[in-house]
Amino acid sequence: MQSFLDFFEFMPVWQKALWIFGVLTFFWILEGYYAFRETSSEQVAQVEYNKWKHAKTNFAFLAFVMIINVVFGLATAGVFIWLETSQFGLLHLLEGPVWVEILLSILVLDLIAQYGVHYLLHKVKWMWRLHLIHHSDTHLDATSGTRHHPLDFVIRELFALGAVVIMGMPLSYYFFYRILTVAFTYWTHANIRIPDKIDRALSWIIVTPTMHKFHHHHEMPWTDTNYGNMLSIWDRMFGTFLYDDPDKIVYGLDLVDNKRSDDLKYQLGLPFDKRVEYKD
């Protein structure tokens, strides 16, 4: 088990980057064979979906995120060193096998750094203004998982760090979680559709592509449901789970100019555009 954990802790940067682009490419190609939707949500956007143009915009956001990820990682390295020397955190109060510690760490990270912060990104006005860029995408595909305003991503990283401190988890546990969450991010955003019965069955435990697409519907109340990233248990536990007719889903937002979904400059400025009103 220790050698397994060491692999993630000492995984070189190029392997992490290879994992990100490998998983993204896999689902991006898979979309061509098992597409959830062939065209964009023209009811809202009234523009034709261009896979490459769409990806270009979202890859720009990915570049911002990767830069922040490196800087943030260097800035917080001291936290992991402190946790190791101080023995702070809940894991140090428990005596159990490593696999139990890893499972508990993933559960807490998924609750705080995914479901919890995502819920706040929708409910807190200034946080929503940052997060709405993710929802302004008028055609969901695998690259949509990379579409986050840089400040949105920083907030998520701070919540993840908070979960790390609460648990007192080692770096290897955290990196293992990151590897898992990358795969789930691209899986849930990919423009793929698995058989409805299978999707519904899986959604009792994990977040599925169709389940997450309800979250990207352009109108409330669907936009404020299905906040989970890996596990669907939090949505079911806190009453935010939704599953309806997938054909009713329309991507985008009713708050912004959906025709400029792929306009990078416009998207970066959305959080600061006073013409975009917040809706309770």
Q: What's the confidence (pLDDT) of residue 255? A: 78
pLDDT at 68: 86
Residue 41 is given by DSSP the state: -
The domains of the chain are located at 2-271
* pLDDT over 50 (residue 22): yes
Average pLDDT, the chain: 88
Q: What is the DSSP string of 187-231?
A: HHHSSB---HHHHHHHTTTB--HHHHHHHTBSSTTGGGS---SSB
251 backbone dihedrals φ, ψ, rounded to 5°: -80, 165
Q: What is the pLDDT of residue 38?
A: 57
Q: Quick one: which of 132, 144, 185 has its CA closest to 54?
A: 144
Amino acid at residue number 238:
F
Q: What is the pTM of this model?
A: 0.90
CA 199 → CA 211, 243, 254, distances in Å? 8, 10, 28
Give the tens place of pLDDT for each residue, 99-134.
999 999 999 999 999 999 999 999 999 999 999 999
**222-278 pLDDT tens trace:** 999 999 999 999 999 999 999 999 989 999 888 788 888 888 888 988 888 877 766
Q: What percent of the chain has pLDDT over 70?
A: 94
